Structure 1
Amino acid sequence: MPPIPDLVATALVFVLAGFVKGVIGLGLPTIAIGLLVLVMAPAQAAAVLILPSLATNAWQLAGPGLVPLLRRLWPMMVAIVAGTLGAGTIGAGWLAGDGRLAIGGLGAALAAYGLLGLSGARFSVPARLEPWLSPAVGAATGAITGATGVFVVPAVPYLQALGLGRDALVQALGLSFTVSTVALAASLAGQGAFRLPEAGMSLLALAPALAGMALGRRIRGRIGQRAFRLCFFLGLLALGGHLLLQARS
C-alpha cells in the first residue's frame, strides 16, 4: 500500500487534471504527468496515468463518427503504436531507467506545447499531404510518448490542422489519446514498469479523475475559455521550464 501522502497527492493531481480536461477537452495526461514527476519517478507517474487516461479518452472516443475517422486516421494510429513500442530501447528506457532524461524530455515537450498554445498559431494541412504526414506525425507522437509519457505533441496540433468539425475533432483527439494510452501501457509493461502497485494506484486515481472531469464539464460555461486556455498554457510553460531546470540539477 503506497503511503497516505502519496495517495492524497495523486488524488489531488487527478482531480485537477480531470477538471482541466472537463473544461477544455484535453490536458489530463499533460497535467498529471507533469505534476506527478515532482513526487515520484517518471515511469511510475506514466503507469499511474494509464487507467484514468484510458477511461476518460474511451468515453471521448465513442460516437457514430468513429468508423469514418478510423478510415481516415488509421495510418497515424498504426504509426503511434509502432513509434511508442519502437522507443522501448531508447524512450521507454529513459522512462524506466535514468529519470533525468525522461524529466528533461517531458519538460521540453510541455514547454513546446505551452509556447505553441500561447502563440495562437493556426495550421492547415492540404488533403494531398495527409497520406504522408499522418504516419510521420504518428511516429513522432509515439516516440515522444515512449520517452515522456505525454502524447499531445505533435498529435494535437496536427489533428487541429485537418479542418475537422468540432465534434469530429473531439472524437479524433479521443481516438489518438486512447491508442497512445494502450501503446504506452504495453511499452511500460515490456519495461517492467507497469506492475501491481502501479496498477493499484492507477485504479485509485480513476475516481478523482472522473470527478474532476465532471466538475470541469459542469462549470465549462461559467469560465471564459480564452482566459482559461491562457492560464493553462502559461502553466504548462512554467512547469516545463521547471522540469528542464530539475533535469539539469
Structure 2
Amino acid sequence: LLLSALILFGLEWAVERMVSRDTEVWAMRLNIFMRLFVAPLSVLLAPLGISDQRGEFDEVAVSVTEDDLKTLVDTSEEEGGIEHDERRMIFSIFQFGDTLTREIMVPRIDVLTIDVHTSLPDAVDAFLQSGHSRLPVHEDTIDNILGLLYAKDLLRVWREGNHLDSLRDLLRPAYFVPEAKKIDELLTDMQSQHIHMAVVVDEYGGMAGLVTLEDIIEEIFGEIQDEYDQAEQSPYHVTKDGD
C-alpha cells in the first residue's frame, strides 16, 4: 500500500508538471489513461443499465505498463516538460519496491560504534565529533551490538552530573533487519514502530551495516545534506580507552 501511494503521488505530481507546459499535446496523450480507468468502470455499470451513450470508451482498455509510463516520462524530459532531477525522482519511485536494504545501508566499514566500556567523556566526544544523534554500542566486537545510545540520554546524565556505572544503563533496544529485506517493507516497519535507525545483519548474524529513515527517503528525493554532512568523513570506532 505504501509503495502504491508513493507511485500515485509521483505520477500525479509528474503529470501536473507535464500537462501545465503543453496542455493540448498532453490532453491527447493522456487519453490512454482515461481508457484505462473508464473502460473497466463501464463493464461494472453495464448490468445496472448505465452506459457511455457516446460510445467513446467501448473499445477494450489499453493496458498501461510500467515501461509505458517510463517512456512517457522520458519523452517529457526530452521535450522539456520536466527536469532531469524530476525524471530521476519518478524513476526512483518505480525502483523503490525492488531495492534491498544492503543497497542503501551504510556499510560496516563506515559505521561509527561505541564500546560499552567507553568512559562518559569519551562517549560525549564521539557524539560531538560525529554530529550523530544516536550510535550503536557494541561489546568486544562490532558484531555484538548491545543496543543504541541516544545523545540526548547521554547529555542529560552529563549535564546533571549523575554517576554512570556503564553506558549499558542508557541503552535502548536496537532494531535488527536482514540485509536482503526490501526497503518498502522496511519503511513500513520503521514507520509503524517509530524506529529511526536499524542495524543490518548478514546471513551469518554479523553486523553488515546501518540504515536510517533518511537513507530510505534519499532513495526517492536524493541526497539530503545537513549542517553535519561533509564531503569526506573518516569512520572510526570508539573503544573503552577512547582510541
Q: Same fold (TM over 0.5)?
A: no
Structure holding more strand per residue: 2
* TM-score, reference length from structure 2: 0.25
More helix as a share of residues: 1
Greater RCO, 1 or 2 (C-alpha within 8 Å, sep 6+): 1
TM-score normalised according to structure 1 size: 0.24
Instruction: Specify the structure having the higher radius of gyration (Cα).
Output: 2
